[in-house]
Amino acid sequence: MTRYASTAGGKLPLPELAEMKHRGEKIVMVTAYDAPSGRLADAAGVDVVLVGDSAAMTVLGHTSTVPATVDEMVVLTRAVTRGAVRPLVIADMPFGSFQVSDESALENAIRFVKEAGADGVKLEGAGPTLSRVRALVGAGIPVMGHVGLTPQSATMLGGFKAQGRTAGKAQRLYDDALALEQAGCFSVVLEAVPAAVAARVTEALSVPTIGIGAGVGCDGQVLVWHDLLGLYDGAAARFVKRYADLGAEVRRALEAYAADVRAGTFPEQQHTYSIPDDELALFEAELDQTVRTRQR
């Protein structure tokens, strides 16, 4: 069943996300890091595909998101935009790509749009990030904000733990989300935030909030591809719901393949090419002749 908010062909128009909020329709976002995943997310009717810097952990094997580079994220984003046609594809700007200055943030964001075909970018944090958001939006690049647990600054936040759990911290988070909207963000991700706080932020913003560990009151939800599908071995956060166990299925298939190869039962006749009998006879005769000549 097609469940896009827009009936127009092609790309989901960005302003449609705000319309969905106002109609009370939930926005579905998922991460993806390659073309087949982008294609599958598109086929499933997902609204927004985030090429998250979670790729550093899920596909590049790092233990945090910090090592992801712009070059790596551009390659992954380019692959996703080849697969995901209708969903909006948002590229996550990795650590170091927007912290230094508005100018370098803009240069890097332009790479995601021009080289990778992204429809927008996501930046973590508020404070100095607000000026980056204004610079990018001023240049015509749609920006998604991200507050609460911002993994790029997990060390400063005391680890991967819920944020905004005291009145003062909840108020700061609320103010940051509002400031991101004022700076021009078209949407704000709320990560690992108490549901009651996320609901109040969602009421206050006119742009949609996308929750991950932020309760059902957000305008949409996002999950990481590998968490959702059971492809990631690391400990899952409390907010993860696993909808499949593809890791176990992949392992089962690989073990069956290995057993077939070792037993000589793969490949079978149907996986094998033949040569016409007369050509084979000719080949063998020529081969015999060559061997005889060498032996003389």
Task: Provide the minimum distance between the beta carbon of 31 and ligand KIV in the complex, in angstroms, as a whole number.
Answer: 4
Least separation in angstroms between CB 265 and ligand KIV: 41
51 membership: H or E segment, kind and range: strand 48-51
The residue from 76, 88, 173, 189 that contacts ligand KIV (CB under 6 A) is 189
Is 255 one of the annotated active-site residues of the chain?
no
Instruction: Name the closest residue to ligand KIV (Cβ).
Output: 52
SS3 240: coil
Interface with ligand KIV (CB under 6 A), residue from 21, 28, 52, 80: 52
If the CB atoms of residues 8 and 31 are measured against ligand KIV, the closer one turns out to be 31
Q: Which entry of 72, 124, 191, 279 is annotated as an active-site residue?
A: 191
Q: Does 212 bind ligand KIV (CB under 6 A)?
A: yes
Beta strands in 58-194 (DSSP E): 88-92, 120-122, 143-148, 187-191
**To the nearest whole angstrom, how small is the minimum distance from the Cβ of residue 213 to ligand KIV?**
9
Residue of 42, 47, 92, 219 that binds ligand KIV (CB under 6 A): 92
How many angstroms separate the CA atoms of 278 and 276, rounded? 6
Please give the Cα distance from 149 to 155 (Å, whole number).
11
- Return the number of the residue (54 or 77) whose C-beta is nearest ligand KIV: 54
Determine if 53 is a binding residue for ligand KIV (CB under 6 A).
yes
Q: Does 54 bind ligand KIV (CB under 6 A)?
A: yes
First to last CA, the chain: 74
Site for ligand KIV in 56-85 (CB under 6 A): none
Nearer to ligand KIV, 57 or 197 (CB): 57
142 vs 124: CA distance, rounded Å: 14
Q: List the structure tokens of 74.
A: 């551009």
Shortest distance (Å) from residue 29 CB to ligand KIV:
8
Contact call for residues 194 and 165 (beta carbons, < 8 A): yes
Q: 35-43 and 70-83 are packed helices; what angle lies between their axes, rounded to 10 degrees? A: 40
Q: How far is the CB of 122 from ligand KIV (least distance, A)?
A: 7
Binding of ligand KIV by 97 (CB under 6 A): no
Which stretch in 3-11, 49-57, 178-186, 240-248 sits in contact with ligand KIV by CB under 6 A?
49-57
Cis peptide leading into 151, omega within 30 of 0?
no
> Two tokens at 152?
């790029």
Written as six digits, the tokens of 290 are 């060559």
Mention every residue, 6+ apart, whose C-beta is less than 8 A from residue 185: 133, 137, 143, 144, 145, 207
| Span of 51-59, 195-203, 233-241, 274-282 interacting with ligand KIV by CB under 6 A | 51-59
* 229 lines the binding site for ligand KIV (CB under 6 A): no
- The span from the CA of 105 to the CA of 238, in Å, is 33
User: Residue for token digits 């991101």?
Assistant: 180
| Smallest distance, ligand KIV to C-beta of residue 148, A | 10
- Nearer Cβ to ligand KIV, position 91 or 183? 91
Residues 156-175 within binding reach of ligand KIV (CB under 6 A): none
Distance CA 122, CA 245 (A): 29
Residues with a catalytic annotation lie at 191
Catalog residues that contact ligand KIV under the rule CB under 6 A: 31, 50, 52-54, 92, 189, 191, 212, 222, 224
